Amino acid sequence: MLIYEVNLTVDEDVAAGFAGWLSDHIQKVMTIKGFSGAQWFFRTPGEEGLEGADKKHWTVHYMVESKEHLDDYLSNHAAGLRQEAIDRFGGKFSVERRILHLLSVAVNPEELARFEKLAQQDAEPAKP
């Protein structure tokens, strides 16, 4: 599994329209084989030392099953989907992308025990 990270900086005057477009765009990407989920975050310029307090700073994390699935997206889908934003919003936004490869996962032990208990209850056969 990996994360395909998309960092967006959007001019304030198109931010509302871009947000609507981005929501639809994320749903389109979710229909592509290998994409299993997405999270959309806002970033605060002051917390990260970002310039452009008059802009919206967003990050989307797409969960992708494999590098092969991401390569398929980049080769066969990305250009057309990206062009939609360029056609609609022109130079009113900028994008940076990163690929994050999973190294490790940590889980709160209490939450893990709770989920294991729930899974065990679900696995028990119903009593007559």
Residue entry with tokens 């994050």: 100
Q: Say which residues have a Cβ less than 8 Å from residue 12's Cβ, sequence separation at least 6.
A: 54, 55, 56
What percentage of the chain reaches a pLDDT higher than 90? 70
Domain of residue 107: give its range. Answer: 2-123
CATH at residue 74: 3.30.70.100
- Answer whether residue 78 is part of any domain: yes
Asked if the structure places residue 128 within a domain, the reply is no
Q: Is the pLDDT of residue 128 over 60?
A: no
What's residue 77's pLDDT?
A: 96
The answer to whether position 51 is within a domain reads yes
pLDDT value of residue 74: 97
Instruction: Convert the pLDDT of each residue in 49-86 to its tens digit.
Output: 766 678 999 999 999 999 999 999 999 999 999 999 99
Q: Does 57 map to a domain? A: yes
Question: What pLDDT score was predicted for residue 115?
Answer: 81
Token digits for 60? 């989307």
- CA 76 to chain centroid: 19
How many folded domains does the chain comprise? 1
